[in-house]
Structure 1
Amino acid sequence: MSETRVEAAIGDSEFDRDTAVVPRGPADPGVYDTELSPGWTIISAVNGGYLLALVGRALAHALPHPDPFTVSAHYLTASRPGPAVIRTETVRTGRTLSTGQASLFQLDDDGHEVERMRVLAAYGDLGALPDDVRTSAKPPQLPPYDQCLGPEDAPGDTPLPGSSAITERLALKLDPATLGWVLGAPSGRGEMRAWLGLADGRDPDPLSLLLAVDALPPTAFELGLKGWVPTVELTAHVRCRPAPGPLRVSVTTRNLAGGFLEEDAEVWDSADRLVAQSRQLARAKLD
């Protein structure tokens, strides 16, 4: 008799546990303790999308509205696994939108508190939005899921130095047309496309979309660059609650100049809806 896989539910998955925040209570309002999990590291740092979701969860606790509409983060110093503190502040509360800001802090090796990232965000209720959609955007063209390739299909000598722990937590299947970098023959087009989910089967929700916009390998790899591509600034827009099932993510870079590049991401759900968008500025290592 074959074993039936039990998929994790929203609220009871590894992602939820690893983005949990604990309020300090009335004596220290708006302050949350958390732990940055080593399971979401890539190369030499904690993934920026995971951090965005973690701070996004703290803001969801702090603000009267439940869902992120727009979240803009500046990454000031590289985060590392271990204890962290998130300090939030409510900037404005309205009928349909509330605005808040948050900063994530860790202690350095000398015991001094260091600000890792600073976020400004607007929250609302995605369920209260009208159904009217007028768009020229189209879902990315991807081969079927079983014809795309995941980390388990990579050759023995991976081009990624350091940690790739985050890949074990994602159900990631990349379009072979964007995988030239794995074979040492990058296309030069600055594109990355993939099917994306969480490895434990948890369905997407608005908070996990903040992870999704920064979960794919950097487009810099297809431009022929190697190594860590740290995010300087990332702004994500969540457009609606995603339907159950795998997401499709498309990321493009049109301009690399002066050692910096932009990445524009679109996230589509199983109902062919554009559920999240983002733009980030990242630093590229030039040889």
Structure 2
Amino acid sequence: MHAATLSEFDRDTAVRRREPGVYDADLSAGWAIGHALNGGYLLGVLGRALADALPHPDPFSISAHYLTATVAGPAVIRTDTARTGRSLSTGSASLFQTDADGTEVERVRVLATYGALDALPDDVRTSAKPPQIPPYEHCFGTEHDPSGADTPAIAARLDMRLDPATVGWALGKPSGRGEVRAWFGLADGRAPDPLALLLAVDSLPPTAFDLGLGGWVPTVELTVHVRAFPAPGPLRVALSTRNLAGGFLEEDAEVWDSADRLVAQSRQLARPLRDGS
């Protein structure tokens, strides 16, 4: 595909191999929330580097630890292959940026197992059920936000419609259930794929808002399991948290495709910061 026809997500997650296992990236400010880049976007960048470094194409399980806030600009990704087999390969990757004083700082560290999603058997036995979300046209986009809050840069790159039952926080009436649900896609119409699933699990408003907390909610750790290659069409994403204690909460995500298949699951540990600092 010619570079001019790539989607914005593909262009902004592109990596260039400098030497075996080492990649350069130009991180785009278009995926920022405030000054920091979104964790799902960064996982897409690291995931693309690992797809090149490892012999298998698709992330099956990927765990990221966010060490310091990542900002737009140049970055270096260093990968290491831990094991390769016939059906699975495992490797790690770290993203580094250079501070103003010239010091190289590690921002994100990832451990992942890759395979081939199209080689998996079709057998499915599950008790999971797709989230019940009103039709797309009956849900709220970011342009309908009644709270008057500043819209983050990333919102312009997403085609996201929030379930009205989970946006009471925007009116100052959070439900306290810790739930957020939405239709999800990319604004330029790019079809979903495994890398887009890494973005989807971390792009909705945080469940902390539905618990009555405002401010920044940085991710400490995020683990994503990709279960299948998604069918074309919009995704449905459901987030929930059951426990906020000691200043940290867990947030679980399920992503369902247009064929009613559970295509990704995740859990993250996050730390709500009331003052946004």
1:156 Cα deviation after fit: 6.7
Instruction: Please state if 1:127 is matched with 2:122.
Output: no
Residue 99 (1) aligns with residue 93 (2): no
Q: From 258, 274, 277, give the equivalent of 2:246.
A: 258
Matched, 1:19 2:13: yes
Q: Secondary structure at the match of 1:24?
A: strand
Distance in 1, matches of 2:248 and 2:104, equals: 28
Query: Could you tell me whether the CA contact under 8 Å between 1:253 and 1:261 is conserved in 2?
Result: yes
Classify the secondary structure of the residue corresponding to 1:96.
coil
SS at match of 2:169: helix
Say whether residues 1:45 and 2:33 are aligned partners: no
Counterpart CA distance in 2 for 1:148 and 1:45 is 27
> Aligned-pair distance for 1:228?
0.7
Aligned to 2:148: 157
DSSP 3-state at the match of 1:117 = strand
1:101–1:120: 8 Å Cα contact kept in structure 2?
yes
Q: Is the 8 A contact 1:55 1:102 kept in 2?
A: yes
Q: Which moves more between the two structures, 37-46 or 137-146?
A: 37-46
For 2:16 and 2:80, the matched residues in 1 are separated by 16
Structure 1 stretches of 5 or more lacking a match?
1-8
Residue by residue over 1:138-169, the C-alpha shift from the partner in whole angstroms, topping out at 9 and shown as x without a partner, is: 000000000000001113721x5xx6000000
Question: Take 1:195 and 1:34, find their aligned partners in 2: how far apart are those partners?
Answer: 29
Amino acid at match of 2:15: V
Corresponding position of 2:133:
142
Distance in structure 2 (CA, Å) of the matches to 1:153 and 1:264: 26
CA distance in structure 1 between the aligned counterparts of 2:10 and 2:172, rounded to whole angstroms? 36
Deviations 1:51-81 (A, max 9, x none): 0111000000000000000000000000000
1:166 to 120, 129, 154: 154
Identity across matched positions, percent: 75
Q: 1:118 aligns with which of 109, 112, 118?
A: 109
CA distance in 1, matches of 2:229, 2:201: 15
Structure 1 stretches of 4+ with a deviation exceeding 4 A read: none
Q: SS of the residue aligned with 2:190? A: coil
What is the alpha-carbon distance in structure 1 between the residues aligned to residue 77 and residue 9 of structure 2?
18
1:266-281 aligned within 5 A: 266-281=254-269
Residue of structure 2 in register with 1:32 after alignment: 23
Distance across 1 between alignment mates of 2:94 and 2:249: 25
- Aligned residue number for residue 109 of structure 1: 100
| Cα distance between partner residues in 2 of 1:83 and 1:271 | 38
> What is the aligned partner in structure 2 of residue 5 from structure 1?
none
Q: Which amino acid aligns with 1:78?
A: A
Q: Distance in 1 between matches of 2:254 and 2:13?
A: 23
Contact 2:227 2:263 in 1 (8 A): yes
Q: Is the 8 A contact 2:238 2:253 kept in 1?
A: yes
Measured in 1, the distance between the counterparts of 2:167 and 2:133 equals 13
* Alignment-mate amino acid for residue 245 of structure 1: G
| Deviation by residue 1:177-208 (Cα, 9 ceiling, x = unmatched) | 11011111111110000000000000100111
User: 2:205 aligned to 192, 217, 220, which one?
Assistant: 217
Counterparts of 1:128 and 1:168, CA distance in 2: 35
Asked whether the 8 Å contact 1:259–1:286 carries over to 2, the reply is no
Aligned to 1:285: 273
Deviation at 1:286, TM superposition (A): 4.6
Superposition RMSD on alpha carbons, in Å? 1.3
Q: What TM-score, normalized by structure 2, do the two folds share?
A: 0.96
For structure 2, list consecutive stretches of 5 or more residues without a partner in the other structure: none
Where 1:251 maps in the other structure, the secondary structure is strand
> SS at the partner of 1:109?
coil
The whole-number CA distance in structure 1 between the counterparts of 2:165 and 2:118 is 36
C-alpha displacement of 1:44: 3.0
- Matched with 2:165 is 177
Q: Match for 1:13: what amino acid? A: S
Q: Distance in 2 between matches of 1:186 and 1:231?
A: 21
